[in-house]
Amino acid sequence: MRVLMIGAGGVGDAAAKIAAERDFYELWVVADYSLERAQASVAAAAARREGRPGGGGTTVFVAAQVDASDAAAVTALARQHRATHVFNAVDPRFVMPIFEGALAAGADYLDMAMSLSTPHPERPHELPGVKLGDLQLARAGEWEAAGRLALLGIGVEPGLSDVFARYAADELFDEIDELGTRDGADLVVHDEHGNEVFAPGFSMWTIIEECLNPPVVWESERAGGDVEAGFATMLPFAEPEVFDFPEGIGPVECVHVEHEEVLLMPRWVDARRVTFKYGLGEQMISMLRNLHELGLDSTEPVDVKGVRVSPRDVVAAVLPDPATIGPRMVGRTCAGLLVTGTKDGAPRAVYLYHVADNEVSMREYDAQAVVWQTALNPVIALELLGSGVWSGSGAKGPEAFDARPFLELLAAPAPYGYGSPWGMEERDPAAPNRAGRPALP
């Protein structure tokens, strides 16, 4: 396996460091618009790899420069390094050129966020327009005809929750009423004086995109046998609920947010309803609403003293880089899936989850918890693809593959696994948002 990873930001840098401790690949190219940033990631990964089988880090990790918006440049770089897999580690604005560049190069493809959506022009809070991933899924036939695989949405969210959905359907439930992704955290960032400050754990550009777009839900009753007919939209931040997160995080108010899980799960897992809710917090919701009212969420360039700039790009630029806030962050982040349904004729509710502690991820990988947790899952997926445990062609989500090998690798101690256990809680089917007794996976 020869991996071309595009993006040396927080997630890409963490992925390279995680991959440095594994031996399933021959070459790992780190490419970024900034060659200096790619070189820094390579140096960090190479240092972790020294002494491992397969050669020193300087022979396995290579830095390169690339413009992720240029599909031809992606193709050329993939061909230059004979990449078998192109791993997209940049924000979703660049999904399509990287996706197209990988296919033209004859390589497989992975990403952690799918092609962007466009709201319905007349009824945006009732009906979807162009949905997340539509542009990619429409080309599934081309990937299948080429014998290549595009694995879509294999970060933590989307990604791990999609793996949990497959596991729940195969091993925990006979019938599923709802697949409900529920994410929350107790992360706090401080300034140099110890004061709590606003600093998002991942790209503010992406936060604005997914939180202010109309959230999507899917219902089988609406679908009537046609998956595409089952999608509907609602107002941003709709249907707030207080969800009790495990491992000491506790109750967090969660709201509907547009996210890829809802667009992927119904295609491969049978359920009556699919939802995504995220614990944004009152401060973030208020800020997002203000940005929208001021027009600062817009991606359309405006003229500022003769310079054309996107308001959203300006907002993202003035906030701290998520890759740099780890030393000033404390707390944990939880990604998980609440599944309700029946098993052996009895109601059941289970919360499957994974918690990342910032203190641990900083100590072991010099990566803050949110980006480390996101980076972990595509590396595991690449290992499964490299060994042939996961295989296929076309454009598919993580729930199209056997979940057990993934979850075993995730939890198993090194050197076999990645030593990052996941959890499972049995919850009260009458009140599944409340914590219940723990259960062994």
| Predicted structure pTM score | 0.93
DSSP annotation of 39 reads H
Q: What Rg do the C-alpha atoms of the chain give, in angstroms?
A: 21
Q: What is the pLDDT of residues 215-248, one digit of tens each?
A: 999 999 999 999 999 999 999 999 999 999 999 9
Measured from the Cβ of residue 391, the count of other Cβ atoms closer than 10 Å reads 11
Contact of 238 with 212, CB cutoff 8 Å: no
Handedness of CA 133, 283, 11, 67 (dihedral sign): positive
- What tokens appear for 304 in the block? 């500022």
User: Which of 390, 373, 374 has its CA nearest to residue 382?
Assistant: 390
Mark out the alpha helices in 232-368 (DSSP H runs): 260-268, 282-294, 311-318, 358-365
- What tokens appear for 323 in the block? 């890759």
Residue 196 pLDDT: 81
Residue 128 pLDDT: 97
Q: What is the pLDDT of residues 359-407, one digit of tens each?
A: 999 999 999 999 999 999 999 999 999 999 999 999 999 999 999 999 9
> Cα–Cα distance between 301 and 307 in angstroms, integer?
9
Residue 437 pLDDT: 46
Q: Three-state DSSP class for 196? A: strand
Contacts of 291 (CB under 8 A, 6+ apart): 208, 212, 297, 315
- What tokens appear for 68 in the block? 């992720």
User: Which of 115, 165, 163 has its CA nearest to residue 139?
Assistant: 115
Residue 438 has pLDDT above 70, yes or no: no
pLDDT level of residue 79 (50, 70, 90 thresholds): very high
- What tokens appear for 140 in the block? 């599934």
DSSP 86-142: EEE-S-GGGHHHHHHHHHHHT-EEE-SSPPPPB--SS-TTTS-SBPTTHHHHTTHHH
Residue 108 has pLDDT above 80, yes or no: yes
User: Which of 420, 405, 427, 439 has its CA nearest to residue 156?
Assistant: 420
Angle between helices 369-387 and 358-365 (to 10 degrees): 60
Residue 319 pLDDT: 83
Residue 211 pLDDT: 85
> Cα–Cα distance between 105 and 150 in angstroms, integer?
13
Contacts of 275 (CB under 8 A, 6+ apart): 178, 179, 180, 181, 217, 218, 256, 262
Q: What is the pLDDT of residues 315-356, one digit of tens each?
A: 888 888 777 887 888 999 999 999 999 999 999 999 999 999
> Cα–Cα distance between 159 and 111 in angstroms, integer?
9
Helix (H) or strand (E) holding 176: strand 175-185
Contact of 340 with 180, CB cutoff 8 Å: yes
Token look-up 């014998």 returns 147
Residue 283 has pLDDT above 90, yes or no: no
Contact of 248 with 204, CB cutoff 8 Å: no
Give the count of alpha carbons within 13 A of 386, CB side only: 21
Residue 58 has pLDDT above 70, yes or no: no
Higher pLDDT, residue 83 or 283 = 83
